[in-house]
Amino acid sequence: MTQHNHHQHDHRSHGGHTPTTGKAAHDDAHAGHDKHAGHSVAMFRDKFWLTLLLTIPTVIWSGMIQHWFDYTAPQFTGSAYIPAVFGTIVYFYGGWPFLSGGYHELRNRLPGMMTLISLAITVAFLFSALVSLGIVEGLDLWWELATLVAIMLLGHWIEMRSITQAQGALKELAKLLPDMAVRLDETGTAKEIPVAQLKRGDLLLIRPGAGIPADGVVKEGTSAVNEAMITGESKPMDKTAGAKVIAGTVNGQGSLRVEVTGIGDETALAGLMRLVEQAQSSRSRAQALADRAAFYLTIIAIVSAAITAIVWPLFGQPWSFTMQRVVTVLVIACPHALGLAIPLVTAISTTIGAHNGLLVRDRRGLEEARLLNTIVFDKTGTLTLGSHRVVKITAADGFADDEVLRVAASVQRDAEHPIAQALMTSAKEQDIDVPMSHDFESMPGRGVRAVVEERSLHVGGPALLRMLGVEPQETLRRAAESAAVAGQSATYLVEGDRVLAVFAIADAIRPESFDAVKRLHDSGLEVVLLTGDSTAVGNSVAKELAIDTVFAEVLPEDKVAKIEELQAQGKRVAMVGDGVNDAPALLTADVGIAIGAGTDVAVEAGDVVLVRSDPRDVPAIIELSKATYRKMIQNLWWAAGYNIVAIPLAAGILAPWGILLQPALGAVLMSLSTVVVAINAQLLRRAVRHGAGSASLVLKPT
């Protein structure tokens, strides 16, 4: 374990580290071009089914299909025009989303998927129309046009469903809010009213099993509330007077009276939804790469189609053959799957995170987390509970630990000192029934005295022993010395002239911290402790948790310097701390992780906000980052890699050997790549499981 003593030095300027504002995020989110603006799942579904119906007669009465399958379609007046008429309807009705999308792409000087599809179906339509009108000799492409549009609509329907399902999981939270609430008037009379009529300050009655309609504070009652849908914490949270409750959570068996503190857009639930929506629309480096790849692929496809149109006539091929090749090249090279590869994975990963209490404020933070090799933890409230507990009890011979803690807590029952609170809290957490005491007397600077079960007892520090003139036995003396070395307070329980026990009191380490540090070490990451406490305290915590490096006695304004010092060594650093007090350090780190924010999404610092104060969520966000990146890379290969083979094949490079790719088959292959990308992204959900007895997210390799 490396030790660093850090004393006060010149303050540094950290200008330029400013929180990301909502407006900036909003502007960034809309920087890209949305190829599906104004489109919906229902629109593509309805267009697909009607287009499919129109395609069937187009294919049945196609001369080429009749020749291939050696049949004759029913003949009647005008039957020869069925492919042309139905194909034209398909072009304008089914093809309209692509035609309008291509127009907007060209108008915005961002040619892409819609441009290629609209070019392909327009080339097929114009050529077929010229053939049908007798202006150009050749074989029309009506059936190819109709099947192409139908398959493209099917592919887009599947895509839109995948995106909607990915984003819809979070929107389901909104449905958790009840439509009605029970409000109590000044006389205590209950009246059921619409939630929309609630206002701050209203007193609500929350019946057992009812949904909580607004954020608030418990004024009366005791219950356990299920907050899993907001925080990811599976264990119901106990609520008594003074506790906060969150809109959208579900009350347990008790009845609560709650004063409303937040309604509508002011609730934590609304804030969480805004935060996740912001993350899903923010742009990452991987998305920028995919966008550039899609743009260049579009240019390559258009150039390849132009070369195809020039070369085949030079080899003596008819225009119908050449147009088939051109249409196939344009269709098969559509960067459709490429446009879906990153956004769909992002939507799913941010939703998974949100349901597990990991709120991604900036996708770049999620993307960078996989590259981290050093994790810096603030101590107080992060690795420790942030409040004092009894961390060790050493009892005199013949006394049990629970018994001495029970009577010591009783002596301190009426005191307000942090030592008293530590004893009472520790007893409560161990389900120890603390008896009443009387004749309480405070002795400033020394301790307190009270009568418990007819026994006169004292509790205090070393000054109390000097005042009473008593000496602890050897085992108790050594325990007190060990506590002092570890930077802990030694508190004694005395009865008469005998010391019954010594309590080591300190900011207790969270039980979850041990597993968190172990998981980080198992992943090969260095763990650093950054604290303003003394070197003794820092070393004690680090030794117990097996932390690699300690920076102790660091002033709040100097934490940034320590982060920069680690970065100067070539390390990629994450800072885990309070989203307010540690804000400069969080902003300086490669990835800032604000822990213990609860449902306060107003935290401006931190790429990732952890709802729970559970340090195990830190390795969880790294694992989520790695799993997300793996899916992105897999999807990029599925989306673009096949074009290396597909474009030359579509252009007819194997035509001399009798191997040709029809436009409809090209559309199937292109749509298939899109479906594979969508399914592969959804598999990210299957990579998620919950560790046994833990609320932390755990991911399996995929």
* Catalytic residue set: 378
In Å, how far from its chain's centre is CA 1?
33
Q: Within 13 Å and on the Cβ side, how many CA atoms surround 239? A: 31
Decide the pairing of beta strands 374-378 and 573-577: parallel
Burial of 693 (0-12, 13-18, 19+ CB in 10 A): exposed
Check: CB of residue 116 under 8 Å from CB of residue 330: yes
Q: Which helix (H) or strand (E) holds 202?
A: none
Q: CA-CA distances (angstroms) from residue 603 to 249, 553, 573, 595, 684? A: 22, 26, 20, 10, 28
Decide the pairing of beta strands 526-530 and 374-378: parallel
d(CA 75, CA 666): 31
- Strand segments, DSSP code E, in 349-383 are 358-360, 374-378
248: left (phi over 0), alpha (psi -120 to 50) or beta: left
In Å, how far from its chain's centre is CA 391?
34
3-state secondary structure of 393: strand
Burial of 270 (0-12, 13-18, 19+ CB in 10 A): buried
381: left (phi over 0), alpha (psi -120 to 50) or beta: left
Residue with tokens 């409560």: 428
CA dihedral 170, 172, 174, 179 (to 10 degrees): -170
CA dihedral 19, 23, 29, 30 (to 10 degrees): -150
Decide the pairing of beta strands 203-206 and 180-184: antiparallel
User: Residue 495: beta bridge partners?
Assistant: 457, 498
Check: CB of residue 283 under 8 Å from CB of residue 29: yes
d(CA 156, CA 180): 39
Q: Which helix (H) or strand (E) holds 483?
A: helix 474-485
Q: Which helix (H) or strand (E) holds 602?
A: none
d(CA 244, CA 641): 52
Decide the pairing of beta strands 591-595 and 608-610: parallel
Residue with tokens 């970065």: 567
